[in-house]
Amino acid sequence: MFKKTLSMICCVIFLQGCSQEQEVKKEMTNMETALLTATEKQETNTVISLLKKGADVNIQDDMKNNPFLYAGAEGYFDILKLTIDAGADPSLTNRYGGTALIPASEHGYIDVIKELLTRTTIDVNHVNNLGWTALMEAIVLSNGNETQQQVIQLLIEHGADVNIPDNDGVTPLEHARAHNFEEIEKILLEGRK
């Protein structure tokens, strides 16, 4: 009888522990949701507070967003730095299979790109679901202006392979020529050497 009662007490304690663990997991989920929301709204002080409380910068939502990827894609430099300091995983990818570097390169966020290339182990030659690297996206989805020329130069200086083609076999140089981006063409030709 005593063993049976003791077993029941142990089961109740175990189940209460499981319930508390679920509450902790729920709280962490809410904290990560709050962290992503604060990132989206550029509420830097809220991001700092949530990170101090232990919010995980690497948890992704259903759309595969997280604070690090979102800050990189939107050019939120201060929040990006905070996520890097908090241990953001630079190999995580968004719903398009791209790292934070790819949309940052498309949009010409020079400071963000420098931060990613110098403070993380991000793969400068990562290929997304479209078959595009950051270099390719900086050419194909840009207007070829001076900022994009700086982006392309920066990527090449950090090891971007100018010869990686897209899924259709078209190289960055061929795309630059098709867009009449003469300055980018020169940068790419110099980068081949």
Q: Between 3.90.79.10, 3.30.360.10, 1.25.40.20, 3.30.2130.10, what CATH number should domain 27-191 receive?
A: 1.25.40.20
DSSP the chain: -HHHHHHHHHHHHHHHHHHHHHHHHHHHHHHHHHHHHHHHTT-HHHHHHHHHTT--TT---TTS--HHHHHHHHT-HHHHHHHHHTT--TT---TTS--THHHHHHHT-HHHHHHHHHHS---TT---TTS--HHHHHHHTS---HHHHHHHHHHHHTT--TT---TTS--HHHHHHHTT-HHHHHHHHHHT-
Tell me the per-residue pLDDT of 105-129, one tens digit each, with 9 for 90 and over: 999 999 999 999 999 999 999 999 9
| pLDDT value for 28 | 38
Taking the model in full, what pTM does it have? 0.83
Residues of the chain under the 70 pLDDT cut: 1-31, 193
> For the chain, what are the domain ranges?
27-191
